[in-house]
Chains A and B, each alone.
Chain A
Amino acid sequence: MKPSAFTYHAPTSLDDAVRVLAEAGPDGKVLAGGQSLIPMMNMRLAAPAVLVDINRLPGLDTVRVDTGGVRVGALVRHTDLEDDAQAARTVPLLRQGLRLVAHPVIRNRGTTVGSIVHADPSAEMPAVLALLGGSMEVRGPSGTRSVGAADFFTGPLETGMAEGEIAVSAYFPRPAPGSGTAFVEIARRSGDYAMCGVAAVVTLDADLRITAARCCYISVAPVPLVVDMAEAVVGAVPASADLSAAADLAADRIEPEDDIHASADYRAHLARVLTERALAEAAEAALRETAGPGPHTTGIGAMR
């Protein structure tokens, strides 16, 4: 189908963009990559009266990496972030999540910040932000503010952004030293939204004991759901960690639903299995991180 008619603005300054969006009120929508918004408009699930195209705004297409983390501008395409070697070294979970986002052709146009603002509970990059405890920088008529991930995702396709605000960047903090991450998911077809996906971060101390572990779940809750796995695995070495206890913690928290793609029971089953896989992979990455550059140390086959 074709989108319904709208008034189009393509401002060249952020101030103009914010002003035009504020004037449009609830009928206004921001267009960045459009890889979620335009399908919804084509199917007339969305029909904004005013579209503010931010693709001409200067300075929003940069990835800034410092020792603390990675700041991603609102016009950075998924592909460019995925290809950024410095960003991948600082926050490996970025690339681990990005390669699961739809197909490469969609990633060529879609933006990481746009995907987060869209806040689909099945999308990968909101989960990456939530798991790492990142934040969004948003600009509105009354200035710029930062919103932490925990306050940002408020429901399916709903965020803590107010009317008239534009997301300017996303900040992904680097995990603590000795951490490893992983992102695993299962989808019906390559590139589809996952029936369930799990991102994990595991942190080890100098004795290679787990000091912290968290997972974030997609497609099994109204928002990307972060579950602290400390009580199940902290103090153990990866090879003897009780991953089944971690899966129990997840099972208590998720709220899977039946739909055309999978039953709630199946999604719950996937959440358990993927919890164990994601934690094992993240622990393996943490062991490599702790060992530093060089040959990989202890296998953790026993964890599986």
Chain B
Amino acid sequence: MTEELHEIRLRVNGIVHTVSVPARRLLSDCLRHDLGLTGTHVGCEHGVCGACTVLVDGRPMRSCLMFAVSAAQHEDITTVEGLAGPGGEPHPVQRAFAECHALQCGFCTPGFLTLIAGYLEDNPDPSEEEAREAVSGNLCRCTGYQNIVSAVQRAAELRTAEVVGGPARAAEEAPAPQPHSEGGHQ
């Protein structure tokens, strides 16, 4: 059977993509297969593991529980590939994960990174208990959660230092147009 294709426009990490997908294409599969952004991982595909978490208009959501055709209504999607700053410098959450040894095999990591990046925007200074609650919806089977919880709090410190420090953060929050460092996409 030939499925009807829908042409959609998705703005991912600041770049607008036009793709043709069947209605049943999950956002997670669209990101990975149609856009080649394989940083978003797919674990359970029913919303339990959190590996596929991306930011939709700044809010962490499960990309396996959204259809790409429906996600196209949103302004902006950020995947793990889009967390780094304009000059490629790692996001505070990424630096904190490296510092605190919050990843081992790395499979769950993109989901945690996007989740925590979104979480800290609304909760810039979480207690340990709040940090634990914040990551409770994402599963990790090898690193262990202690270091991930530590990394949430460390990321909050690094992020706050950047906000106070000014320029790096200001650049990150600058609205479109995006820098043209990604070479030719549009």
**Residues of A with Cβ closer than 8 Å to B?**
1-8, 10, 31, 34-35, 38-39, 41-43, 51, 53, 55-56, 79, 102-106, 108-109, 190-191
Contact = CB atoms under 8 A, between A and B. Distances in A.
Contacts of A5: 1, 3, 22-24
Interface string B64-96: 111101100100000000000000000000000
Interface stretch (B12-20, B129-137, B157-165): B129-137
A35 B137 contact: no
12 contacts: A3-B24, A3-B26, A4-B24, A5-B22, A7-B23, A8-B67, A39-B65, A42-B46, A53-B70, A103-B136, A109-B56, A190-B137
A2 B24 contact: yes
Give the interface residue-count category, chain B: 20 to 34
B73 A56 contact: yes
B50 A105 contact: yes
B66 A10 contact: no
Most buried by A among B22, B45, B62, B134: B62
Interface string B43-62: 00111001001001001111
A53 B6 CA distance: 14
10 closest residue pairs by CB, A with B: A103-B137, A8-B23, A39-B46, A190-B136, A108-B59, A38-B65, A3-B24, A109-B61, A105-B60, A105-B137
A281 to B, nearest CB: 20
Contacts of A4: 24
A109 B69 contact: no
B62 A51 contact: no
A42 B66 CA distance: 11
Nearest to A43: B46
A190 B73 CA distance: 31
Contacts of B137: 102-106, 190-191
A6 B3 CA distance: 9
Interface of B: 1, 3-4, 6, 22-24, 26, 29, 45-47, 50, 53, 56, 59-62, 64-67, 69-70, 73, 115, 119, 133-134, 136-138
A163 B137 CA distance: 34
A7 B60 contact: no
A105 B22 contact: no
Given A1-B45, A35-B47, A42-B46, A106 B62 contact: yes
B136 A7 contact: no
A35 B65 contact: yes
B45 A42 contact: yes
A105 B70 contact: no
Contacts of B3: 5
Contacts of A51: 23
A105 B115 contact: yes
B6 A8 contact: yes
A191 B46 CA distance: 14
